[in-house]
C-alpha cells in the first residue's frame, strides 16, 4: 500500500521537527560546555555586576530572552533589590510586574520551588493605546547550597512550548553555579571584614602593649626617683636617731626618740613594700641561692619583734625545732621578709594574749627538706568573707583597719608571691575575734660543713681576714676618688691583696699576666670601657689568663634595666655607686667564701639605687655634703673619709677643667664621659648637690645639647665650692680620733 501524500507530509514535518530539536539540543550542549563555568575569581577585585552580566549572556544562550533582571536579597533576608537589569530601561516594567507577584504570594512560592516557573505578564498597551499580546514571564530562584540568594525574572522571547527541557535543566544549573559564587563572595567579604576588624584589634592591642610598656618603664623610673627622694631624707632621719641614741637623754626624750625610730622604720618598710610589689608586677623578682645561718636568721627576727610584743604585754615565743639544720641554702633576705611580715602582723593585730611561732623540718630526703613555719596569734582574726581576698594586693580586713593599724595591704600579697616563687605554699586559718594561724612551707637544702667549729664567715666578721687573706682583687676605675673608696672599703672587709687599673686596656694587661679571684669593673672609662674590656676577658682567643674570672659591674648607672643589661653582657654581678659596704660584703661573700660557687653568670643578688638620681636639684634644702652618710659607708673610719675627700677635691678640680674645655670645643662624647666621672666621684664622697647637678649635665651631653651642659658648669663649680666649704666645717669632727 502506497503511503498517501498526507502521510508523507506528516513524516517530513516530523523529521523537520526532530532535526530542529537535534540542532537546538546540539546548540544548547555546545553553549553549556562554555557556560557552566564562570571565569571569575572571588577576591578583592570581584564585582557582582561583572558576574551577573556574564550570567545574563550565558542564560540567553539557552533560552531567548527579551529582557531580564536579577533581584538579590539583603544579608538579613528581609528585603530584596534589583542588582542587574538588561536592558536597563526595562527595569520599570519588571518593577510593575513584581508588585502583584509579591502581594499574592507568587514570588515567595517561586523562591521555594528552585525550578523554572512561567507565568503570564499583565496585559499592556503601546504608546498609541493599542493592546499588546500576552507575554510570558520566567521566574527562577537563585539558590545556593544552603539558602536563597535572590530571584531571576525574565521576559521570554519565544513560546514556552518551543523551549526544550534540557534548556530549563541547564538554566537551573547555571543559576545555582552563579548563586554559589555570590554566596562565596558574601563569605569572602565577611571574612575580609572580620580580618580587617581583627587586624585593627591587633594593631590597637600592639599600641596598648607599647603604651603599657612605656607606662611600666615610666613607672619604674618614677619609683626609682621617688624611692631616692624619700630614702634620702629618711636615711638622714634614721641616721640621726641612731646618733641621738648614743647621747645623754632623759626619759621623755628617749620615749620620743623611740616613737621617731618606730615611725621612720614603718615608713621605710612601706617604701620597700611598694618597690617590691612593683618589681614583682614587672616579673623582675629573682631569688638568691646562697648558704646562710638559719639559727641566726630565726633569732634575729625574734629579737626584732620581742620588744614590741613585751611593750603590748603579749606572751611571745619563737621556737625552732632542734632537728633543723643550722646552715641551709636559699634566699635569706626573702625568707626573713616573709617571716617578718607574718610575725609583724601577728604582733600588730593582737591586742592581748599571745603570739606563738614555730619552725619545723618536714619530709627530709638527704640534704633536701621542707621548712614549715606556723604563726599563731590570739588577735582580731579575719572573717570568712575576707580570708580569700587577704592575699590580694592592697587588701586589709576592712577600711577601719587601715586607719587604725596603717600599712599598704601589700605585706601578705608580697609574702605569697615570694613563697610561690620559691616553690612553696602559704595558708591561713582564722575566725573573726578568735585569732589567726598563718603557715608557710618552702623547700630548702642543708649545706654540709666540715667537722669542727661552725664556719664563722656565715655570721661573724672576726674570721674575715683569715678567709680573704689570700684572695686577689683587681679594681678597674678611672676616677682616683672612686678607686680610693673601693680599695678602702675592701680593706675594711679584710682584703689586702688589691691591685688597681685606670682603664680597660690596663686591666687587660694585668689580667693577661695575673689570675685574679675577683674583678670590680667600672663601665665608663677612656681607651677601653668596661663592656669592651669584659668582651676581651670572656673571649677565649684573648691573652687573658682566666676567661671565667668573676667580673662585677661597678657603675653609677642604676636605673631599672641597667643591671639586667650588664648581666646579659656577661657581668657576674652588679654594684651601684655610691658604693655601700654592705653591698661589697655581699659580693665578696658570694664569690670568695669558702664554699665558693660558680655563680659567674647567675641572676641573683640585690642592689641599691644610686644616690645621684636624675632629678634636678631645685631646692636650697639639698645638702652640699652628707658627712654622716659618708662616715657610715666608710665603716666609721674618719681618717679614710678625710683622705678620700682630700683626693676628691684635687681630682674634681682637674675634671671640671676638662669638662669646660670639652664643652667649649664641642666634644659631646668627651664631655659626657667626664661629667659622668664627676657624677660618680661626687656620689662616692656624698657631695650630694654636686652629684645631682652632674646628673642633669650628663643627660644634656648625652642628647648632644652642649649649650645646656655649658650652662650647668657655673652651678657645678658653685656646688663644688659649697661642698669644700661644708667639708672644712666638718673637718674637725670627721678627723677626730676616737
Residues 648 and 538 grouped into a single domain: no
DSSP letter at 89 equals G
Residue 498: what pLDDT?
Answer: 92
Residues 145 and 38 grouped into a single domain: yes
Strand 472-476 and strand 327-330: pairing? unpaired
Least confident range of 324-333, 483-492, 661-670 = 483-492
Burial of 90 from C-beta contacts in 10 A (0-12 / 13-18 / 19+): middle
629, part of any domain:
yes
CATH number of the domain within which 623 lies: 1.20.120.160
Residue 82: what pLDDT?
Answer: 93
Residue 413: what pLDDT?
Answer: 81
Residues 438 and 489 grouped into a single domain: no
Residues 419 and 469 grouped into a single domain: no
- The answer to whether residues 688 and 619 touch, using CB atoms and an 8 Å cutoff, is no
Q: What pLDDT, in 10s, does the model give residues 202-235? A: 888 888 888 887 777 776 666 656 655 565 456 5
Residues 73 and 181 grouped into a single domain: yes
Q: What pLDDT, in 10s, does the model give residues 331-381? A: 888 898 899 889 988 998 898 899 999 999 887 887 889 999 999 999 888
DSSP letter at 570 equals T
Evaluate the omega torsion of the peptide bond into residue 33 and state whether it is cis, within 30 degrees of 0. no
Q: CA-CA distance, 458 to 240, in Å (whole number)?
A: 30
Cα 728 to its chain centre, rounded Å, is 48
Out of 138, 158, 192, pick the residue that ends a domain.
192
Q: What pLDDT, in 10s, does the model give residues 263-296? A: 776 676 666 666 666 666 666 667 778 788 888 8
Of all helices (H) and strands (E), which one includes residue 412? helix 411-421
Residues 32 and 158 grouped into a single domain: yes
Residues 320 and 353 grouped into a single domain: yes
Residue 110: what pLDDT?
Answer: 87
Of all helices (H) and strands (E), which one includes residue 497? strand 497-501
Out of 158, 192, 226, pick the residue that ends a domain.
192
- Number of structural domains in the chain: 4
Residue 87: what pLDDT?
Answer: 92
Mean pLDDT of the chain: 77
Q: Is the pLDDT higher at 470 or at 354?
A: 354
Report residue 533's pLDDT band, with 50, 70 and 90 as the boundaries: very high
Residue 133: what pLDDT?
Answer: 63
The pLDDT of residue 587 is above 80: yes
Query: Which residues partner with 80 through β-bridges?
Result: 73
205, part of any domain:
no
Residues 638 and 585 grouped into a single domain: no
Q: Is the pLDDT higher at 361 or at 607?
A: 361
CATH number of the domain within which 521 lies: 3.40.50.2300
Of all helices (H) and strands (E), which one includes residue 154? strand 148-156
Report residue 163's pLDDT band, with 50, 70 and 90 as the boundaries: confident
32, part of any domain:
yes
Residue 592: what pLDDT?
Answer: 82
Residues 180 and 39 grouped into a single domain: yes
| Domain ranges, residue 430 | 289-447
Least confident range of 117-126, 239-248, 633-642 = 239-248
Residue 296: what pLDDT?
Answer: 83
Q: CA-CA distance, 502 to 483, in Å (whole number)?
A: 9
221, part of any domain:
no
The pLDDT of residue 464 is above 50: no
Residues 370 and 387 grouped into a single domain: yes
The pLDDT of residue 594 is above 90: no
DSSP string, 313-347: T-EEEEEE-TTS-SEEEE-HHHHHHHHHHHHHHHH
Burial of 387 from C-beta contacts in 10 A (0-12 / 13-18 / 19+): middle
Q: Which residues contact 713 (CB under 8 A, 6 or more apart)?
A: 656, 659, 660, 663, 697
DSSP string, 375-403: EEE-SS---HHHHTTTTSTT--S-HHHHH
* Percentage of residues of the chain with pLDDT beyond 70: 72
Residue 611: what pLDDT?
Answer: 33
Out of 168, 192, 216, pick the residue that ends a domain.
192
- The answer to whether residues 376 and 435 touch, using CB atoms and an 8 Å cutoff, is yes
CATH number of the domain within which 84 lies: 3.30.450.40
The pLDDT of residue 260 is above 80: no
DSSP letter at 489 equals H
714, part of any domain:
yes
239, part of any domain:
no
Residue 606: what pLDDT?
Answer: 30
Range picked from 96-105, 411-420, 487-496, 504-513 for highest mean pLDDT: 504-513
226, part of any domain:
no
Residue 527: what pLDDT?
Answer: 85
Of all helices (H) and strands (E), which one includes residue 430? strand 425-431
Query: Could you tell me what percentage of the chain is helix, strand and coil, using 3-state DSSP and rounding each to the nearest 5?
Result: 55, 15, 30
* Percentage of residues of the chain with pLDDT beyond 90: 13
Q: Residue 603 has which C-alpha cell?
A: 641572676
254, part of any domain:
no
Residue 608: what pLDDT?
Answer: 30
Residues 309 and 426 grouped into a single domain: yes
Could you tell me the CA-to-CA distances from 366 to 370, 371, 444 in Å, in that order? Answer: 12, 14, 11
Strand 117-120 and strand 148-156: pairing? unpaired
Q: What pLDDT, in 10s, does the model give residues 670-689? A: 888 888 888 888 888 888 88
Report residue 186's pLDDT band, with 50, 70 and 90 as the boundaries: confident
Report residue 245's pLDDT band, with 50, 70 and 90 as the boundaries: low
* Average pLDDT for 419-427: 89
Residues 316 and 175 grouped into a single domain: no
Report residue 473's pLDDT band, with 50, 70 and 90 as the boundaries: very high
Q: CA-CA distance, 426 to 501, in Å (whole number)?
A: 50
Q: Which residues contact 495 (CB under 8 A, 6 or more apart)?
A: 468, 471, 473, 588
Q: What pLDDT, in 10s, does the model give residues 285-328? A: 677 787 888 888 898 788 778 878 888 888 999 999 888 888 88
Q: Is the pLDDT higher at 188 or at 85?
A: 85
Least confident range of 54-58, 263-267, 600-604, 607-611 = 607-611
* Average pLDDT for 133-152: 84
Amino acid at each position: 500500500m502506497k503511503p498517501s501524500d498526507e502521510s508523507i507530509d506528516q513524516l517530513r514535518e516530523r523529521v523537520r521537527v526532530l532535526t530542529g530539536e537535534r540542532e537546538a539540543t546540539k546548540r544548547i550542549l555546545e553553549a553549556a560546555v562554555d557556560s557552566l563555568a564562570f571565569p571569575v575569581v572571588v577576591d578583592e577585585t570581584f564585582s557582582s555586576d561583572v558576574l551577573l552580566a556574564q550570567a545574563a549572556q550565558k542564560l540567553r544562550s539557552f533560552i531567548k530572552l527579551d529582557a531580564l533582571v536579577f533581584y538579590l536579597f539583603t544579608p538579613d533576608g528581609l528585603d530584596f533589590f534589583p542588582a542587574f537589569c538588561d536592558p536597563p530601561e526595562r527595569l520599570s516594567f519588571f518593577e510593575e510586574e513584581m508588585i502583584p507577584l509579591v502581594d499574592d504570594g507568587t514570588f515567595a512560592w517561586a523562591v521555594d520551588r528552585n525550578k523554572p516557573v512561567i507565568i503570564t505578564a499583565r496585559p499592556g498597551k503601546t504608546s498609541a493605546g493599542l493592546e499588546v499580546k500576552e507575554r510570558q514571564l520566567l521566574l527562577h530562584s537563585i539558590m545556593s547550597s544552603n539558602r536563597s540568594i535572590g530571584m531571576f525574572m525574565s521576559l521570554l522571547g519565544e513560546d514556552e512550548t518551543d523551549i526544550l527541557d534540557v534548556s530549563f535543566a541547564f538554566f537551573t544549573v547555571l543559576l545555582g553555579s552563579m548563586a554559589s559564587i555570590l554566596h562565596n563572595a558574601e563569605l569572602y567579604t565577611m571574612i575580609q571584614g572580620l580580618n580587617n576588624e581583627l587586624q585593627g584589634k591587633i594593631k590597637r592591642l600592639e599600641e596598648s602593649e607599647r603604651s603599657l610598656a612605656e607606662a611600666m618603664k615610666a613607672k619604674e623610673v618614677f619609683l626609682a626617683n621617688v624611692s631616692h627622694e624619700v630614702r634620702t631624707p629618711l636615711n638622714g632621719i634614721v641616721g640621726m636617731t641612731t646618733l641621738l641614741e648614743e647621747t645623754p637623754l632623759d626619759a621623755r626624750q628617749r620615749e620620743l626618740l623611740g616613737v621617731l625610730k618606730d615611725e621612720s622604720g614603718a615608713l621605710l618598710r612601706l617604701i620597700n613594700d611598694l618597690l617590691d610589689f612593683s618589681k614583682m608586677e614587672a616579673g623582675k623578682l629573682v631569688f638568691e641561692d646562697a648558704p646562710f645561718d638559719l639559727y641566726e636568721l630565726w633569732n634575729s627576727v625574734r629579737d626584732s619583734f620581742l620588744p614590741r610584743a613585751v611593750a603590748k604585754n603579749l606572751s611571745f615565743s619563737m621556737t625552732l625545732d632542734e632537728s633543723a639544720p643550722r646552715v641551709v641554702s636559699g634566699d635569706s633576705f626573702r625568707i626573713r621578709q616573709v617571716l617578718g611580715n607574718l610575725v609583724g602582723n601577728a604582733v600588730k593585730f593582737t591586742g592581748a594574749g599571745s603570739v606563738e611561732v614555730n619552725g619545723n623540718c618536714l619530709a627530709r630526703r638527704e640534704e633536701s627538706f621542707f621548712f614549715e613555719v606556723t604563726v599563731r596569734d590570739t588577735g582580731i582574726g579575719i572573717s570568712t568573707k575576707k580570708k580569700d581576698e587577704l592575699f590580694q594586693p592592697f587588701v586589709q580586713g576592712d577600711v577601719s583597719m587601715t586607719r587604725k593599724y596603717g600599712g599598704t595591704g601589700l605585706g601578705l600579697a608580697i609574702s605569697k608571691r615570694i613563697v610561690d616563687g620559691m616553690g612553696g605554699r602559704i595558708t591561713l586559718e582564722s575566725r573573726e575575734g578568735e585569732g589567726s594561724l598563718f603557715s608557710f612551707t618552702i623547700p630548702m637544702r642543708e649545706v654540709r660543713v666540715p667537722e669542727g667549729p661552725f664556719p664563722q664567715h656565715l655570721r661573724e666578721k672576726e674570721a674575715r681576714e683569715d678567709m680573704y687573706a689570700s684572695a686577689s682583687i683587681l679594681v678597674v676605675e678611672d676616677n682616683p676618688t672612686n678607686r680610693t673608696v673601693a680599695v678602702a672599703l675592701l680593706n675594711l672587709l679584710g682584703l689586702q691583696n688589691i691591685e688597681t687599673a685606670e682603664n680597660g686596656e690596663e686591666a687587660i694587661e694585668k689580667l693577661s699576666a695575673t689570675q685574679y679571684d675577683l674583678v670590680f669593673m667600672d663601665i665608663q672609662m677612656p681607651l677601653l670601657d668596661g663592656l669592651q674590656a669584659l668582651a676581651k676577658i670572656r673571649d677565649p682567643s684573648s691573652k687573658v689568663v682566666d676567661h671565667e674570672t668573676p667580673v662585677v659591674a661597678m657603675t653609677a648607672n642604676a636605673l631599672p634595666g641597667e643591671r639586667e643589661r650588664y648581666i646579659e653582657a656577661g657581668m657576674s654581678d652588679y654594684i651601684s655607686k655610691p658604693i655601700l659596704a654592705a653591698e661589697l660584703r655581699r659580693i665578696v661573700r658570694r664569690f670568695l667564701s669558702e664554699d665558693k660557687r660558680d655563680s659567674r653568670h647567675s641572676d641573683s643578688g640585690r642592689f641599691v639605687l644610686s644616690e645621684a638620681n636624675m632629678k634636678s636639684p631645685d631646692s636650697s634644702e639639698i645638702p652640699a655634703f652628707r658627712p654622716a652618710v659618708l662616715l657610715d659607708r666608710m665603716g666609721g673610719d674618719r681618717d679614710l673619709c678625710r683622705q678620700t675627700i682630700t683626693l676628691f677635691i684635687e681630682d674634681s678640680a682637674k675634671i671640671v677643667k676638662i669638662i669646660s674645655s670639652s664643652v667649649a670645643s664641642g666634644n659631646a662624647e668627651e664631655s659626657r664621659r667626664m661629667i659622668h666621672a664627676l657624677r660618680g666621684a661626687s656620689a662616692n664622697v656624698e657631695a650630694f648637690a654636686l652629684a645631682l647637678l652632674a646628673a642633669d649635665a650628663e643627660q644634656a651631653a648625652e642628647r648632644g645639647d652642649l649649650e645646656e651642659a655649658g650652662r650647668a658648669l657655673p652651678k657645678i663649680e658653685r656646688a663644688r665650692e659649697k661642698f669644700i666649704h661644708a667639708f672644712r666645717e666638718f673637718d674637725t669632727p670627721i678627723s677626730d680620733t676616737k
